[in-house]
Amino acid sequence: MSRRTVLKAGATLLLSVTAPLRANAAQILAVRVWPAEDYTRVTLENDTDLKATHFIVKDPERMVVDIEGLELNPTLKSLVAKIQSNDPYIKQVRVGQNRPNVVRLVFDLKEEVTPQVFTLPPAGNYKHRLIFDLYPVRQVDPIAAMIEKGDWSDPAPAPSATPKEQLAELKPDLKAEPREELKNELKTAEAQTKAADKVDKNGKLVRMITIALDPGHGGEDPGASGKNGSREKDIVLAIAKRLKAKLEDLPNMRVMLTRDGDYFVPLGTRVEKARKVQADLFVSIHADAFVQPTARGSSVFVLSEKGASSSAARWLADKENLADTIGGVNVKSHDKQLASVLFDLSTTAQINDSMKLGRSVLGEIGGINRLHKGSVEQAGFAVLKAPDIPSILIETAFISNPEEEAKLLDDGYQNKLADAIVTGIRRYFAKNPPLAKNRLT
């Protein structure tokens, strides 16, 4: 046998050994980055389950990730360009073939982080996903963050309307600067309690009203989509921001958004955020979708302990409760969180208060859009399970209906909708002024 024949046979044998490895290597289908103050998420979507190991390197801060069964491809290389300069936690990422069948990612970090690395099975329109969630080690106090973002430097004008319309029971004074000692002590439990109030120009402690607004979906979870390509997560965030601005124009009101950008927040975390700031109300904002494009109208929902008030309400609650599956929750860490937040202590009193709020808001929304049903509905929405906060979920309109999709995208309609919700909230507080109360912990 000639030397050329031997070499050819050896090459053929080598190809037969390596070809299956390349054929079986996982394929990265998409890479996505979701930067936010809460945390930054990096998602690698792929055609099979991936095994990854990671470790932290100090001085400077880096996170190194080795992914097995993977060959470097252009999609994965594109991750480098997806890191934005304003990302709070990632400076840059380097991607390379560390060794055969193992790709290494090196995240150069801006500060110390606590990483969570986990995989997700296929869900919704997604294939397998490998997730990197980078949380700051030094987490921001939520009440301190609200005070930092609030513009309360100038005294508010005295209310001119009737007591019922202007919540005169609360003697509001929005713009007064919170006392300096409260800012310095916000990290203690005592200071968090004091931070719920503020001092007016006469030195009198004034009861602040804190409202948690919850724009549904976000990040990996786009929510429903319209015929013209609009996404629920974008529309409800825009409405929530308009609503926040209008509420904070009222005396003695301040607002916390469960998300203020395009990133995913688990259902339990939304509830936990509201409870951490001792919210007086929780308002979740959504844009409904149905299999038939003819479905239309706005709705308001509250929690039910005994089952849904209609089959449609049950269907909608089941769909909304899938947000964690689609958005991607790290089950190992989320179970501990759920144990302390989503415990089943939803009391009759909470539901009764929620019904009062829901009726007030639904009545106002009915003035600007057709109602899908003329009464507040009930179902087992996970996001409404704060045991000590009146909570409602507003389906602003059917994004799956082309006419209502156009409304939802219209600035004028969004403004009218926000005005209606504000009026509903004011009417609720006029009859049900918030009192100082101890939160469940």
What DSSP character marks residue 141? P
Q: Is the pTM above the cut of 0.85? A: no
Where does the chain hold its CATH 2.60.40.3500 domain(s)?
A: 24-136
Q: For the chain, what is the largest distance between any 2 Cα atoms, rounded to a whole number of angstroms?
A: 105
Using alpha carbons, select from 169, 255, 196, 185 the residue that is nearest to residue 429: 169
Where does the chain hold its CATH 3.40.630.40 domain(s)?
A: 142-431
Count other C-beta atoms under 10 Å from residue 297's C-beta.
18
53-72 per-position pLDDT tens digit: 999 999 999 999 999 999 89
Residue 200 clears pLDDT 80, i.e. is over it: no
Tokens 């929405």 correspond to what residue?
Answer: 381
Query: Is the previous residue joined to 35 through a cis bond, with omega within 30 degrees of 0?
Result: no
Whether 200 contacts 176, CB under 8 Å: yes
* Confidence category of residue 334, pLDDT binned at 50, 70, 90: low
Residue 211 clears pLDDT 50, i.e. is over it: yes
CATH number of 24-136: 2.60.40.3500
Residues 182-195, mean pLDDT to the nearest whole number: 39
106-155 per-position pLDDT tens digit: 999 999 999 999 999 999 899 999 999 999 998 777 777 776 666 443 33
230 exposure class (CB count in 10 Å sphere: 0-12, 13-18, 19+): middle
237-274 per-position pLDDT tens digit: 999 999 999 999 998 899 999 999 999 999 999 999 99
* Confidence category of residue 162, pLDDT binned at 50, 70, 90: very low
CA-to-CA distance for 301 and 317, rounded, in angstroms?
9
Count other C-beta atoms under 10 Å from residue 331's C-beta.
11
**CATH fold of the domain at 142-431:** Aminopeptidase (3.40.630)
What is the percent of the chain where pLDDT is above 70?
A: 74
Listed in sequence order, the residues at least 6 apart from 102 whose beta carbon sits closer than 8 Å to its beta carbon are: 66, 67, 68, 70
What's the whole-number average pLDDT of the chain? 80
pLDDT computed for residue 204 by the predictor: 60
Query: Residue 72 carries which side chain, given as an amino acid letter?
Result: L
Residue 48 clears pLDDT 80, i.e. is over it: yes
Tokens of 257: 């958004």
281-303 per-position pLDDT tens digit: 999 999 988 878 888 999 999 98
